[in-house]
Amino acid sequence: MSFSKNVVHCRRCLATTIRPYSGGSNTVESTTKMNARAMPAVQWRVLAQVKDFLSKLSNDSNFQNVLNKEFARILQKIQPSVYGTEIARNFKQTADVEPKKSEVKTVDLENSSNESNNSNTEVTTQVIPKTEGGINFPKVLNGLGISFTNKDPPKEVVPKWKADNLVISQSGMSSRTRHVIFSIAQAETIESKLHRVEGLTNHIKQYPEAKNNAVKGGAIRLLLRVRHRTKELHVQAAISEALTILGYSNPLPGRGIRILSIDGGGIRGILVLEMLKKLEEITGKRVHEMFDFICGVSTGAILACSLGILQKDLDQIQKNYKKLSTQVFTQSTIKGTSSLVWSHSYYDTALWEKLLKMELGEETLIRTSRNKNTPKVAAVSAVVNHERVSAYIFRNYSLPWRVQSQYMGSNEHQIWQAARASAAAPTYFEEYKLGNLLHQDGGILVNNPTAVAIHEAKLLWPDSPIQCIVSFGTGRTVPTHLASDNTNMQAANVSSWKNKFMKILDSATDTEAVNTMLNDLLPSNVYYRFNPYLTEMLSMVEIDPFKLEQLEKDAIMYLRRNEDKFQRAAKTLLEKRTSTQKVMDWVHLQKELLGVNGK
């Protein structure tokens, strides 16, 4: 029989159905002459199931018409001797139900090749199984890339180089960076510009070393051009973040750099709020409008984030300040002491973190640069797990290319994390771990961050003069050597270990030593230090309403006595940029746009 010559394509005991096809004689026709109309019922069933599945992919009439035409073309070209048996094989291999006996006649193809001339061929009865929900055939149309199982829709495939921070060569890094920059230059629509600018931002975040390649490749010049031509605010916001990551700073609005520095001091930060209200009253401007750079430590860091980044109202901040202090610093002695022994924190650190998240939010610091009215903000903490205790700066900006700060720092953390790390006062709250660094209150190292603020600001605007520095303290008492009597003078005896420790801590957190140095170095019309004298030096965790009221009274009294000094500071802050400076800014911008600076 000619049928046996074509079944050599399958040698795995595949059971398939034989149907007699009669012609002009009683012999079986050669399978090479079989067409689609002569296909066995099993193969028809499989193809019908395929067509039914594909027809469910879309209800569009055009899709259905194309599908019908394609299947008609397939049926015209199909060779049942080859493709038909392949369909049956895949159909059999993917079946997951045990086969049952049936009246359909089948034959063992492997044996049939050797016994095709034997009229007593062994016949078995078997049917191709079906699954409960229909025929399962994942390999039939493998080339179409269609899944035939009832699974969830496949997730978007992300290239591995985008998903993982892999180590790549310098040449590969340069190539990728050039490609990203070129894609921004080729963008035409608003959405494509936005998408590609954010792609550059994400690329530099993933590979910080790509920043140098981007600057050398003209990324700053390109972004400035796009920003100049684009009016859409959301695109300009994305460009502002990208420029900030690249270390670009916009020209200053005033004559020079205006710096605000806020000391640590816990609840005594209420004094700072009262003094800032006075400045806002005189100038008629909000805090974030008066200053270009705001730096704080401990409670000053919380105020810097609230005023500079979140741009909250002073009255609302003061109200929330008292509310949060009451919630956190209300603690029973027994619970606080036991917590101090076990976790080295007297107060509930988990509650403190929860309240900070609610009050400051979880947005990353660098992303806050999307708001063009946001000043540069820095929060200072102390890293205590290094060989030497060192300052760490949480920034919402990035330093320019080839510029290195004397302090460690990052802009990748969230706002609340910066405040949490900077205000992790020893014994009050637990140390705060970020990555491999262990942070404590920055006040143990630099409780007056004015010098740190000057250093950072000059790195951002190296060619600009300092217009005004306003430094706020959180209260002080009359120095011992200025007191009129010596009633509090102790006898010259050997001091206790506790007394020695407290004296060392007091010396480390002293704020007036920095003030004395800066007061000698800077002109009087540039540097203004405000630090009220207090009737009673309150603890950082004081929540007694009467004592807090006295604190506010001391602030008001200090404002009255220093009215003239506040007026002079306000006048300095309001000095505008000169015409010469504006011309130089325009010239510098044109150089950037034309690439004269070689960037």
Which whole-number Å values give the CA distances from 234 to 5, 84, 190, 193, 368, in the listed order?
71, 58, 10, 11, 13
Amino acid, res. 285: K
Structure tokens at 191: 């959405």
Judge whether 450 and 514 are in contact, CB under 8 Å: yes
Are the CB atoms for 392 and 380 separated by under 8 Å?
A: yes
AA letter at 282: I
What is the distance between the alpha carbons of residues 75 and 38, in angstroms, rounded to a whole number? Answer: 11
Chain-centre distance for alpha carbon 571: 39
Looking at residue 364, the DSSP 8-state letter turns out to be B
**Which of 50, 132, 107 is CA-nearest to residue 83?**
50
| 233-245 helix and 190-206 helix, angle to the nearest 10 degrees | 20
Distance CA 168, CA 320 (A): 48
Residue 345 CB neighbours (<10 A): 20
Q: Who's near 282: CB < 8 A, 6+ residues apart?
A: 566, 567, 570
| 378 closest CA partner among 291, 312, 316, 319 | 291
- Catalytic pick among 81, 240, 249, 298: 298
Report the alpha-carbon distance of residue 446 to residue 428 in Å, rounded: 18
Separation CA 124–CA 104 (nearest Å): 9
State how far the Cα of 317 lies from the Cα of 174, in Å rounded to an integer.
46
Task: Out of 263, 348, 441, 554, pick the active-site residue.
Answer: 441
Which amino acid does the sequence have at 283? T
Tell me the Cα Rg of the chain: 39
Tokens 């027994």 locate to 334
Tell me the residue type at 154.
P
Three-state SS for 107-157 is EEHHHHHHCCCCCCCCCEECCCCCECCECCCCCCCHHHCCCCCCCCCCCCC
Judge whether 463 counts as a catalytic residue.
Answer: no
Q: Is 313 a catalytic residue?
A: no
Task: Locate 372 and state its tokens.
Answer: 């063009």
User: Considering only CA atoms, which of 216, 226, 249 is closest in space to residue 398?
Assistant: 249
Give the active site residues: 298, 441
